Structure 1
Amino acid sequence: MLEQGKIDSRQATLLMISMVLSTAILTAPAIIMKHAARDAWLSIIIATMAGLLIARLVTGLGLRFPGQTLFQYAEEILGRVPGKVVGFLYICWLLHSSALLTREFGSFLVSALMPDTPIIVFHIVGTAVLAYAVRNGLEVLSRYNQLFLPLVLGLLLVVFILATEEMEMTRLLPVFDKDFVAILKGAVVLTSWMGEIVIFAMIIPYLNRPEAAHRVAALSTLFTGFFLLVTVVVVLAIFGPNVSAHWIFPTFNAVRVVSIANFLERLESVIVAVWMLGGFAKVGIFYYAAVLGSAQWLELKDYRPLVLPVGVIVVALSILIHEGIVDMLDFIGRVWPFYALSIFEAGIPLLLLVVALARGKGGKSS
């Protein structure tokens, strides 16, 4: 194996939570509300159920081929040349995703905190730190995430509880204010986030107990769905759907209004901590998957020589792919769900499973 490290089920669960929640908690509420308005919470429930199906698909496929990642068993299922084509497509997607996440990360810091700082500074510094972590392997990323994620999510939950005085639950009524098509559109957008669990296909071989993969994927998806549900309910109850849908980061603004006795205020630093620490882990996972997958695709014995070149590509793409934050969020809301979900998160894994079953490839998934 190119990766010698092993992680336990708890570390893997927390890693999969970070992979979705850290960015979705800031940008997803506004995008979903543009479609489903006050019924956005229904979209989240539907998306969580869809995410569970994708999680089952990915883990079932991975467990049929013990010790292999998606890049490796794609060749075994489809043959060398078609498998290489699939691997190349995933490399492109992982690089694009890493660049998009890096741009999202930098855009938040510039627009919300440091507008006078060139965005390229955040991209270069962040990618350099991530390159060091990725070079040191999966265990380093997992231990970092295990240390910080429970702390920042616990703080965020406390902030949401403190925000109850600002909430008016009648803003969530009436239920089914939008038609089912609008609710489904919101669910499709969020499912494209939930579907990022496909990256778990690169992690399963490195679990110390691979048989726990189904439980890891299901728990992380359910927890992510629950936390996003709480987030959307809080935002809707404070601002209502009309105001929330027109903000770029409604969760950030919801936390800013919390004020306890004019003493405990300016708690948006908690959101910044979630974004910084969780976003670091998320970009790191995609970066790691891109490096490891590229090394396996090229049939190298060590992935570390690719860490720097992949980092340079990610930084370059992060500057070139979108003109600004509005253009980026429009892409995430309109194009990304169908591009990512239909091809990489559900389409290709489903194709691989069908062909594997038809050709009798792999063992039985547990």
Structure 2
Amino acid sequence: MMIKLAAMEILSLMINFLLGSAIVVGWNFETKKDIWIFILISLGLGVGIFYFYILLHSLGKWGNLIQLFELGFGKWISKLLGFIYCLYFLYIAGRVIKDFSFFIGQVLFNDVPFWIITFTFLLVVLYSCFVGIEDTARSSLILSAFTIVIILFLMIFGYLSPYFELNNLTPVFRTDWKQILASVFPTGLTFPYGELIVFTMIFPYVNNVKALRKYGWISVCLTGFLLIAAAEMILGLLNSETVNLYVFPFVKALELTSISEFLPHLEILAVVINLIGGFIKVSIFMFGGLNILAHLFPNVKRNKHILASTVLTLLFTFFFSKNIIQHLNIGLKIVPAYLHIPLQLILPFILVVVLLIKKYIVKSI
């Protein structure tokens, strides 16, 4: 059956995907009161990354990433790169599941074993993989609206909280530009915007390429502005000197926010946001890995692809970090430099150059 996705469905997937775990666990307050500058620069680069991937598809006649590599580098190299990207997508899926499990374990269920949370979450993702990306995309339309409403609701009451102080947001422009740029590259550039590389396995299914080109930037910008607003709320409630003491500063800030005695624990809504974003993000990474496996092993049944992807994701979830400190250190220091930069930017850039040469130079000879 031919998969077709409306541009609006892909844009909603992008919103949930980009917010994903970033709104809850993805904060980097090294630039303190100038974090809005860091996020704004990352946002501008994120829009550029999105259109860079659109350019890649335009040059490759809207094939998926592995088909583009085959067009650029040939059959055997594309298979090797396909295997690498399959492991990469499933590894990031495992990392997001671990983000979610650590978060739920610390915020809601301190006594629940890590593996129970992981398996429960993965079961939901498995169901998404079985029903397919079309049903997940339709669900994402409703979920993205729900997520945005919840975030706006939380921020309104965060800014109105008696604990919110405008003085915590000023003065600005005190951070050294080297520090800001060091935060942007590679971390701010690659997370969450560079992770859109997985959408190179989804963009070919769009039924309206022009709409995707014309409106795709809106999803990226909306995510960025929500992150800026949330970051300013967090600083206003926690201040720049103490915010880095918390693993989940968004949740800690919400603990200082309540609506009288009616809703005294608004931080619970952060769990809902993380559930929605984590579900969409892991589902998309799993779908990317499944698509590559289907391309590499076309004669193997889809159920076996799903089983193999699940096993690999579980292995990545359980064996690459023992605690949240090690997990965050790997995610902020090692993964961006040694995985994200080569696979999100360097290899796609080389591919674009090769496709341009083949299209405009080789044909003219």
Cα 1:143–1:261 shift into 2, 3 Å: same
- Please list every run of 5 or more consecutive structure 2 residues that lacks an aligned counterpart in the other structure: none
Q: Which residue type is aligned with residue 224 of structure 1?
A: T
Task: State the 1:52 CA deviation.
Answer: 1.2
Pick aligned residue for 1:9 from 7, 10, 15: 7
Partner of 1:177: 174
**Residue 46 of structure 2 is aligned to residue 51 of structure 1:** yes
- RMSD of aligned Cα (Å): 1.8
- State the secondary structure of the residue aligned to 2:308: helix
Cα 1:123–1:107 shift into 2, 3 Å: same
TM (normalized to structure 2)?
A: 0.93
- State the secondary structure of the residue aligned to 2:240: helix
Partner of 2:286: 287
Task: State the 1:305 CA deviation.
Answer: 2.9
Partner of 2:325: 326
- State the secondary structure of the residue aligned to 1:354: helix
1:10-159 to structure 2, matched below 5 A, reads 10-29=8-27, 32-33=28-29, 35-159=30-154
- State the secondary structure of the residue aligned to 1:174: coil
For 1:258-291, what per-residue CA distance to the aligned partner results, in whole angstroms no more than 9, with x for missing partners? 1233443211121110001221111111011111
- State the secondary structure of the residue aligned to 1:38: helix
Counterparts of 1:120 and 1:72, CA distance in 2: 36
- State the secondary structure of the residue aligned to 1:115: coil
- State the secondary structure of the residue aligned to 2:51: helix
Q: Which residue type is aligned with residue 142 of structure 2?
A: L
1:331-342 to structure 2, matched below 5 A, reads 331-342=330-341
Cα 1:6–1:89 shift into 2, 3 Å: same
Counterparts of 2:272 and 2:234, CA distance in 1: 19
Counterparts of 1:79 and 1:204, CA distance in 2: 22
Counterparts of 1:300 and 1:54, CA distance in 2: 34
Q: Do the aligned partners of 1:18 and 1:278 also contact (CA within 8 Å) in 2?
A: yes
For 1:75-117, what per-residue CA distance to the aligned partner results, in whole angstroms no more than 9, with x for missing partners? 1111112222221221121121111111111111111111111
Counterparts of 2:301 and 2:10, CA distance in 1: 23
For 1:176-203, what per-residue CA distance to the aligned partner results, in whole angstroms no more than 9, with x for missing partners? 2210111112223222111111122111
Segment drifting more, 255-264 vs 180-189: 255-264
Q: Do the aligned partners of 2:59 and 2:356 also contact (CA within 8 Å) in 1?
A: no
Counterparts of 1:57 and 1:47, CA distance in 2: 15
What is the total number of aligned residue pairs between the two structures? 357
Counterparts of 1:321 and 1:341, CA distance in 2: 17
- Please list every run of 5 or more consecutive structure 1 residues that lacks an aligned counterpart in the other structure: none
Counterparts of 1:218 and 1:341, CA distance in 2: 21
Q: Do the aligned partners of 1:130 and 1:280 also contact (CA within 8 Å) in 2?
A: yes
Q: Do the aligned partners of 1:36 and 1:185 also contact (CA within 8 Å) in 2?
A: no
TM (normalized to structure 1)?
A: 0.93
**Residue 230 of structure 2 is aligned to residue 235 of structure 1:** no
Q: Which residue type is aligned with residue 113 of structure 1?
A: L
Q: Do the aligned partners of 2:60 and 2:355 also contact (CA within 8 Å) in 1?
A: no
Q: Do the aligned partners of 2:60 and 2:71 also contact (CA within 8 Å) in 1?
A: no
Segment drifting more, 169-178 vs 246-255: 169-178
**Residue 343 of structure 2 is aligned to residue 344 of structure 1:** yes
Counterparts of 1:247 and 1:202, CA distance in 2: 36
Q: Do the aligned partners of 1:134 and 1:288 also contact (CA within 8 Å) in 2?
A: yes
- State the secondary structure of the residue aligned to 2:2: coil
Q: Do the aligned partners of 1:60 and 1:214 also contact (CA within 8 Å) in 2?
A: no
Q: Which residue type is aligned with residue 183 of structure 2?
A: G
